[in-house]
Amino acid sequence: RGVRGGTVDSFNQVVKPFVSGMKYLITEFNIRHGLEGNPHLTNKYAMEFARKVADVMSRPEIEALYTHSVPDHSIVYWSNGRRFATVVGGSDDRLTGAAMSRGWHLTPTGKVYELYSRLAWNGDVLGYEAKGDQSHWAVRASNGSVVVTLINDSDKATNKKVKISGRSLTLAAPPRSIVCMDVN
């Protein structure tokens, strides 16, 4: 059924009697089995990517992952330093010019990739929660700031009350959006 955040619990049950502090490298993380019609280029796919990657990366045991997620024949790599890199095979003739640049910043999924690498997952995870079409988490960046991210993948705006690092916050997000805020 694929790797999800909860999959780590299953692995931990098997491995922990033999190895403490286990870390995992996911070498093949596909968020879908089929890519008919090149969904990489849609906002809907970008939100699916945002939710599924966040669920996996919320687990501190995940050291790194490679994912086929951004336009055809590319790999996004996540490492323990919260750094992303993109490797492009370049074998899809639909991708030319600027679409071949590092980071895929011109596509919806590439914009999620950029946001995650710059803000949303660029730090130590302080907390993560997912329920239905929404998830939120906080990271402490290297400069000490705390960045809270809210994904709202529903067709209605949301206001969510959360407690992060002892502070009560109200997060607001329009429909089908990802919002990041510095708690300060």
Is the separation of the CB atoms in 103 and 111 below 8 Å? no
Phi-psi region of 68 (alpha: psi -120 to 50; beta: other; left: phi over 0): beta
Q: Would you state the pLDDT for residue 129? A: 93
Average pLDDT over residues 62-81: 61
What is the pLDDT confidence band of residue 63, given thresholds at 50, 70 and 90? confident
Average pLDDT over residues 63-72: 65
Average pLDDT, the chain: 79
Q: Indicate whether 7 pLDDT > 60.
A: yes
What is the pLDDT confidence band of residue 160, given thresholds at 50, 70 and 90? very high
Q: Indicate whether 177 pLDDT > 90.
A: yes
Q: Indicate whether 130 pLDDT > 60.
A: yes
Q: 93-128, pLDDT tens digit by residue?
A: 655 666 655 555 567 777 887 788 888 888 888 999
Average pLDDT over residues 162-170: 88
Q: 31-40, pLDDT tens digit by residue?
A: 766 666 666 6
What is the pLDDT confidence band of residue 73, given thresholds at 50, 70 and 90? very low
Is the separation of the CB atoms in 69 and 56 below 8 Å? no
Q: Indicate whether 133 pLDDT > 60.
A: yes
Q: Would you state the pLDDT for residue 138? A: 94
CA-closest candidate to residue 4, choices 69, 52, 75: 52
